[in-house]
Amino acid sequence: MPRFLPITRDGLVDRVVGRVLVSHTHTVIAVEGADAAEPAALAAEVTVALRDIGRSADVVSLHDYVRPAALRMEFGRTDGMSYRTAWFDYAALRREVVDALRHHDRWLPALWDEAIDRSARVPIRTALPATTILIAGPMLAGRHLDADLTIRLDMSEAALRRNTPPEAEWTIAALLQHDHENPYSPTFFVRWDHPGRPALRIDEDSAG
């Protein structure tokens, strides 16, 4: 049976960095969590730690791979099924980031500007040797991203309701349903109800 080890954010970052350092090729890390969990913030901390030791690393936010508003909101601004199936362009993320990094040594940092609802118009970046890209956002499980490492920032329903702003509360049911339908075993499963006091799941056969 798994147990949970209290850990600091810095300690979690150190564990992730340690896993990256054993690789001498490009690495893709999926940092999955609801917006309330701020997965991009943790991804940024890992990026800084990797850069501090001379490794190339960057964050790609799922919110920079949204679909145009006409597609996202075809059935209204608060449609849960649309949020799960039409809001984010996971296929483009796989094509322009994961596959492009592995097969062409490049990646596209952003596809669509959510705020102004138009193409992000950012240049493609060339990857240095052993580049790490951290993809951060909600509902990454089950999207065929084929990440090398996965980090799950797990929030209970109560924590989601505490930390989600009122205008986004409609997304909670969709997030919970997605999690229910897409169980998986991430590399790092982290209880994240209190981001300042996370707990890391340790399996019985893990060295800890």
pLDDT of residue 204: 62
The partner residues of 28 in beta bridges, in order of sequence, read 133
- Residue 207 pLDDT greater than 60, yes or no: no
User: How many domains are there within the chain?
Assistant: 1
Q: Per-residue pLDDT tens for 81-97?
A: 999 999 999 999 999 99
Flag whether the pTM goes above 0.75. yes
Q: Which residues contact 51 (CB under 8 A, 6 or more apart)?
A: 57
pLDDT of residue 203: 79
Does residue 51 lie within any of the structural domains? Answer: yes
| CATH assignment at residue 94 | 3.40.50.300
Pair 40, 131: CB distance under 8 Å: no
User: What phi and psi values does residue 141 have, to the nearest 5 degrees?
Assistant: -65, 140
Average pLDDT over residues 178-200: 96
Does residue 171 lie within any of the structural domains? Answer: yes
Does residue 161 lie within any of the structural domains? Answer: yes
- Residue 205 pLDDT greater than 60, yes or no: no
Does residue 207 lie within any of the structural domains? Answer: no
pLDDT of residue 208: 39
Complete edge-to-edge strand list for the sheet that includes strand 27-32: 3-6, 199-202, 188-191, 149-154, 27-32, 132-137, 57-61
Distance, in Å, from the CA atom of 153 to the CA atom of 195, rounded to the nearest integer, reads: 9
Q: Per-residue pLDDT tens for 94-139?
A: 999 999 999 999 999 999 999 999 999 999 999 999 999 999 999 9
- The boundaries of the domain holding residue 101 are 3-202
